[in-house]
Structure 1
Amino acid sequence: MKAAIAPEPLFTGSDWDFTLINRIYDTVEPIALQEMKLDIYPNQIEVISAEQMLDAYSSIGMPLFYKHWSFGKQFVTNEMLYRKGLRGLAYELVINSNPCINYLMQENSATMQTLVIAHAAFGHNHFFKNNYVFRQWTDADGILDYLEFAKRYIASCEERYGQLAVERVLDAAHALMNQGVHRYPRVRPRDLKAEAAREAERQAYRDRIYDDLWRTVPVGTRADTVPAGQRRAALGLPQENILYFLEKTGPRLESWQREVLRIVRLIAQYFYPQRQTKAMNEGAATYTHYRIMTALHDRGWITDGAFMEFLQSHTNVVYQPTYDSGQFGGFNPYALGFGIMSDVERICIDPTQEDREWFGDIAGSGDPVEVLKDIWANYRDESFVSQFLSPHLIRQWRLFKILDHEGEAEVRVDAIHDERGYRRIRRALAREYDIARQEPDIQVVDVDLAGDRTLMLEHAVNDGVVLDSSDALLVLQSLANLWGYEVALSEVDAETRKELKSHRCNPQDDWMR
């Protein structure tokens, strides 16, 4: 089907109104859905001010959220940097929900509104709905209802138990959020709507079985000692989800405190896929907006001036400083994702002999969008880089691998531009996106509930990188406060099992008051 040529551009200046936003959306939608065949949630587009965008930043980008002092602190910090011109704001913010909520900045020009609709409403939206990590771990249908429940529940706890008591639990739970996720997929994602309803059932059950006489029953003698292996099996140890273990097993937590822990860990789980797919998600959205904006310009829907404005913004987004520029701070996820995806397009349309040897299943296929949609659905950052970073791109980006051992005075170039070197460079870069290496592997390994109740944890250390002592003690203090007894953390080499470091912490006496 031949694409329609615009009788006149959608806009000629930078001004816009809501009628124009609708026309832009109606023009972009057929390109995204009919030509690229993207599969998206229904879109809900909202235009917000800079201050509202700052507020969204502060509450981790969610339209509904419970109150906490850290959000206000974050708002003040971001606002100060923005007002001083030290930090810009995102042109858009998109929520992984059904419908997919897209926030557009009121200050954007008409060109930028077109760009962000293509980027967020279609690029991010398609990725959220189709990528396997999001499909395994998130419930787009239920997240907004669950956030509303969480906000109401925590507000009711503040009224009933006091703001300080709730704040202490939230502070401790937030400190443990990264250790509050399940890293192995469930058979199906958790139904968050049902989760909110189940709390009402749990509370009703507690009310039915409560009997005040139990307070007067004297404490009996110590239970018989249970063999360590049997004890750990009964508690489901080792357990990597520390918040889950506390919620189910914490001996001194009240029912409302357990529910607060559940809220924090379910929200942490919701964001878990985003930590695994940053380069792919931004790359997919950037590739989508580049293709759509180019199509709009080719067909006369946007002017040359608007396209130049777009290209300037796009170039800034995908800019990657070189390692020796003084500005290098790691790989720009937009640049990495978009660069590899553009290279996949080249391989599909105009492959070299080298490409055919490395990517025989996609080289010359002639349909890059279908290939990319398959990639977007079935990979995360680590596997994406390890499978699709090509020798061509390694040469173009002048990538190499060095070894820098702490005990040696010099660094060594470990991989150059030959076949073995390409594979080692690709493997080394992919490891940088392996979430198992980005975050410490800390698990609850034992606790004797019939003894002194010391909670024992173990950190499996990779490459000799131990935890920062001051940070470790601060987080352990939060854990000890929630547990109510001493906490011991042992850092053990993952290969040799040799103990490298240990930490211990006791709960604060006044924390539960």
Structure 2
Amino acid sequence: MSGSGSSRLLFEGAEWTFDTVKRTFDAIEAIAIGELGLEPYPNQIELISSEQMLDAYSSIGMPIFYNHWSFGKHFVRDEKMYRKGYSGLAYEIVINSNPCISYIMEDNTMTMQALVMAHAAFGHNHFFRNNYLFKEWTDAEGILDYLSFAKSYVAQCEEKHGIAAVERVLDAAHALMDQGVNRYSRIRQKLADEEKRAEARRQHHQETYNDLWRTVPKLGETETPPDEKDNDSRRAALGLPEENLLYFIEKFSPRLENWERELVRIVRNIAQYFYPQKQTKMMNEGCATYVHYRIMNRLYDQGLIGEGSMLEFLTSHSNVVFQPDFDDPRYSGINPYALGFEMMRDIERVVTDPTEEDRAFMPDIAGTGDVMGTLKHAWAGFRDDAFVAQFLTPHLIRKLHLFKLGDRQDEPHYRVDAIHDERGYIEVRRALARHYDLAFREPNIEVADVRLKGDRRLELVHRITNDVLLSEQEAKAVLGYIADLWGYNVQLEGIDSDGASRYRYEASPKNA
């Protein structure tokens, strides 16, 4: 019987030792690389306590991070929830770095240690190293050194300028992290060079800041209004419109000192580093879940783990991929583990045992027989929205009971716009793909103009999508942070798809 023969078992029972962890890791690695053909970064496994896991939670999962009051707030909240039994902890945290660092909790059973090593050290790790977004947009080689520099730099600023002054800048920059990324321009981070560049900034005051504001008239001065040609050339010189608010503030704010600009840049670099993870959450978790499922089953088939361990694994795995129905009180959206895993398994089915429907919808991969080759190509070349648009099959739409609801403001009831028919499959797939497209989920806000000839007001525009407006309270609060960093008044105007203005908010700096 598979799983019998205790002399071959990698471990027995729940207890673990460093020897059993190492032996199990080697067996997992042999399957992941030797059989599945995964190509991960070198691995570094760190065993940590629940207290350390909570600490990693609070600092967004990074092993080195600068101090900020919000991290302590998160730590206290998560610790209370954990201690009272209201919430659990992740079994692991994995860092997109080279080597790839995987934190596993010392409280885990040995079966769970095996599962999370397969999941994180090989599933996530392979995805980080090979997906095009991470390869083009992040610097796995330099991230740990950069975080060390950032921690040291923030501490130096606190010592020199005071904790309150540093927190004022960090609070504002953190509020703008979602608008502090390059969404479309491919500018790969070179974090290894950041410390040298920061030192150069400290030594040489960048002339662009002086040149930009040197000729700006003081308030109350009158000037001849420039013609439109002058406005066009000025906006071109400033790179307007600009989608990355933190970049524009760092580069052009007339009030920030050099050390404050560096703090804004640190937050901006960290936001950019995490941006690909937001675009690939479902694929990344689906990849890691599929990999751990294949590896754990293979360990059992080889007689390396027993039936008790297999039952424990299957219980945990089933909980991870559980998807409540839409009318279930536990429903809180689509579980990325569930959809990702089901899509990976469905690709395996299409590649190995396609139906005529599969051949019509996915002729390029149906029946090719190359499961891992197809999956590795998908993991490398897509993000969540494109992956759904390319690989969601009618079979899986039926299996998951997916349909499309129309939510129209002028109608009193929801309307079912698409069901399980030929036209409905395309509509459901398109709607679900758009659900994962950050361009439709996050507000499109850009710097439209700056009034150099006058009050230096910063003018922002929100391009409204699908008639989704910003919360007035939150918009005004964030505008206040922008005004504090900019140093002068800031205006935000909401523009509809037809060009009509829906709202206009303004904010002034607190210390004007």
- TM bin (shorter chain): over 0.9
User: Is 1:190 paired with 2:192?
Assistant: no
Equivalent AA in structure 1 for residue 25 of structure 2: Y
Map 1:289-300 → 2, pairs under 5 A: 289-300=292-303
Map 1:287-436 → 2, pairs under 5 A: 287-436=290-439
Alignment partners' CA distance in 2, 1:506 and 1:60: 31
Q: Secondary structure at the match of 1:504?
A: strand
Q: Secondary structure at the match of 2:325?
A: coil
Is the CA contact 1:137–1:185 (under 8 Å) kept in the aligned structure 2?
no
Relative to 1, partners in 2 of residues 1:360 and 1:170: Cα closer, same or farther, differing over 3 Å?
same
> What corresponds to 1:167 in structure 2?
167
> What corresponds to 1:452 in structure 2?
455
Is the CA contact 1:172–1:479 (under 8 Å) kept in the aligned structure 2?
yes
CA-CA distance at 1:327 after TM superposition = 1.5
Alignment partners' CA distance in 2, 1:6 and 1:360: 46
Equivalent AA in structure 2 for residue 141 of structure 1: E
CA-CA distance at 1:233 after TM superposition = 1.1
Relative to 1, partners in 2 of residues 1:249 and 1:434: Cα closer, same or farther, differing over 3 Å?
same
Equivalent AA in structure 2 for residue 353 of structure 1: E
> What corresponds to 2:257 in structure 1?
254
Q: Secondary structure at the match of 1:491?
A: strand
CA-CA distance at 1:313 after TM superposition = 0.1
Q: Secondary structure at the match of 1:402?
A: strand
Relative to 1, partners in 2 of residues 1:420 and 1:141: Cα closer, same or farther, differing over 3 Å?
same
Q: Secondary structure at the match of 1:503?
A: strand
> What corresponds to 2:469 in structure 1?
466
Is the CA contact 1:490–1:501 (under 8 Å) kept in the aligned structure 2?
yes
CA-CA distance at 1:449 after TM superposition = 1.9
Deviations 1:317-371 (A, max 9, x none): 0000001112211100000100111000011111111111111111111121110
Is the CA contact 1:238–1:444 (under 8 Å) kept in the aligned structure 2?
yes
CA-CA distance at 1:207 after TM superposition = 11
Equivalent AA in structure 2 for residue 454 of structure 1: R
Alignment partners' CA distance in 2, 1:247 and 1:411: 45
Relative to 1, partners in 2 of residues 1:261 and 1:223: Cα closer, same or farther, differing over 3 Å?
farther
Deviations 1:29-50 (A, max 9, x none): 1100011111111101000000
Alignment partners' CA distance in 2, 1:207 and 1:317: 51
Alignment partners' CA distance in 2, 1:103 and 1:253: 38
User: Is 1:483 paired with 2:500?
Assistant: no
Is the CA contact 1:246–1:483 (under 8 Å) kept in the aligned structure 2?
yes
CA-CA distance at 1:22 after TM superposition = 0.5
Could you state the TM-score of these two structures normalised by the residue count of structure 1? 0.94
Q: Which runs of 4+ in 1 moved over 3 A?
A: 206-209, 218-226
Relative to 1, partners in 2 of residues 1:26 and 1:366: Cα closer, same or farther, differing over 3 Å?
same
Is the CA contact 1:43–1:102 (under 8 Å) kept in the aligned structure 2?
yes
> What corresponds to 1:204 in structure 2?
203
> What corresponds to 2:132 in structure 1?
132
Equivalent AA in structure 2 for residue 496 of structure 1: D
Relative to 1, partners in 2 of residues 1:185 and 1:25: Cα closer, same or farther, differing over 3 Å?
farther
Equivalent AA in structure 2 for residue 302 of structure 1: I
Is the CA contact 1:136–1:185 (under 8 Å) kept in the aligned structure 2?
no
Deviations 1:383-402 (A, max 9, x none): 01111111001111111112
Alignment partners' CA distance in 2, 1:64 and 1:372: 33
Equivalent AA in structure 2 for residue 419 of structure 1: E
CA-CA distance at 1:186 after TM superposition = 2.3
CA-CA distance at 1:7 after TM superposition = 5.1
> What corresponds to 2:274 in structure 1?
271
Relative to 1, partners in 2 of residues 1:10 and 1:172: Cα closer, same or farther, differing over 3 Å?
same
User: Is 1:35 paired with 2:38?
Assistant: no
Map 1:12-27 → 2, pairs under 5 A: 12-27=12-27
User: Is 1:498 paired with 2:500?
Assistant: yes
CA-CA distance at 1:206 after TM superposition = 3.5
Equivalent AA in structure 2 for residue 94 of structure 1: V
Relative to 1, partners in 2 of residues 1:24 and 1:72: Cα closer, same or farther, differing over 3 Å?
same
Q: Secondary structure at the match of 1:57?
A: helix
Relative to 1, partners in 2 of residues 1:207 and 1:267: Cα closer, same or farther, differing over 3 Å?
closer
Alignment partners' CA distance in 2, 1:71 and 1:179: 21
Q: Secondary structure at the match of 1:490?
A: strand
Alignment partners' CA distance in 2, 1:252 and 1:65: 27
Deviations 1:246-276 (A, max 9, x none): 0110001100000100000000000000000
> What corresponds to 1:99 in structure 2?
99
Alignment partners' CA distance in 1, 2:413 and 2:49: 52
Equivalent AA in structure 1 for residue 105 of structure 2: M
Aligned length: 499
Alignment partners' CA distance in 1, 2:360 and 2:234: 54
Is the CA contact 2:450–2:459 (under 8 Å) kept in the aligned structure 1?
yes
User: Is 1:282 paired with 2:285?
Assistant: yes
